[in-house]
A = this chain, B = another copy of it.
Amino acid sequence: MENIKVIFWGLGAMGGGMAKDILLNKKGIEIVGAIGQNPAKIGKDLGEVLGIGRQIGVIVSNKPREVLNHTAADIVLHATQSFTKDVFPEISLIVESGKNVITIAEEMSAPWAETPDLAEHMDNLAKKHQVTILGTGVNPGFVLDTLILTLTGACQAVNKIWAARINDLSPFGPTVMKTQGVGTTVEEFNKGLSDGTIVGHIGFRQSAYLIAKSLGWELDHIAETREPIMTTVYRETPHVKVQPGMVAGCRHIARGYKDGVEIITLEHPQQIHPELEGVKTGDYISIEGTPSIKFSDEQEIPGGIGTMAAAVNMIPRVINARAGLLTMPDLPVITALMGDVRQLIADGKKRCLTI
């Protein structure tokens, strides 16, 4: 049986990491194309760019249309930007080339939440070209939606969902420090919120949409709040120094209301060195219902690895899936891929390989 053929679009930390994982660890998948934009990578062999110590015969190109239209592949792994409106032209190009696509653009985990018109358009386009589009990642896509929904599977009734993903931003670079407002004063933080330079978490509306839609809840509205996490102690990373009284991170909360009642609460406070003020990181899920269920882990599922894993692990599910713009709850249970992935491609299911 032929290998599953993948094209990568986006070779940053996420795209590059996924490509490396496939080259080094996955059986039955091969990379047949690579699209990047970093001049330092264009024209080089992908194996060299990824530093895996060997060439793989795939040259990194900055010409998406050329690669997509002249390379036979089953699926494209897309990792460029976060917002649907920004990736929409790229997704369309992939679909029009007759290939399935998995993107880690946060808003694409449920495009109906923010851009129903674009979602509708992509769904029709995917059906027309008989391919599947999926947006996924660790969050949105897994922890605060798919995992919560799976746990409700053991419930006869669900009255309220509260979940929190408490993580440590210390390992991240200067960009994340800026977008989360780490190291700012309250005034700078609030200014950043208003001018859009401080964004907090991207994906809350998508997670709430997936939860409500899947359970069959009609939400009145979703409200988001972003508050500065003030520190009372000195916190420091290689990229930022935070004095007591300054902002160590952003407490971002989303609340979904049904018939005026807060029925979904998703919290994602992100800061550096939470342990310095006794805050334990982790993923916490509390479902109030019949029965009530409280699950938590000892340490949050790491965002970077989790996102790369979720996207790669969905490859066989998406290749097998019906055509259209789908979401994680539409597809079979996500699992790690430890065997030959070709074994998971159902006989007679659509493969693309369109040139």
Instruction: Spell out A's residues near B (CB within 8 Å).
Output: 21, 25, 138, 142-143, 146-147, 149-158, 214-218, 289-291, 293-299, 301-302, 305-306, 308-310, 312-313, 328-341, 343-344
Contact = CB atoms under 8 A, between A and B. Distances in A.
Given A295-B297, A329-B332, A306 B215 contact: no
Closest 9 CB pairs of A and B: A216-B339, A153-B334, A152-B336, A154-B306, A155-B336, A149-B335, A215-B338, A156-B309, A329-B333
Contacts of A215: 335-339
B335 A150 contact: yes
Number of chain copies forming the complex: 2
A78 B353 CA distance: 42
Given A150-B146, A150-B335, A312 B344 contact: no
A195 to B, nearest CB: 34
A157 B289 CA distance: 34
A339 B344 CA distance: 33
Nearest to A147: B150
A153 B295 contact: no
Contact of A305 (B25, B142, B290): B290
A309 B142 contact: no
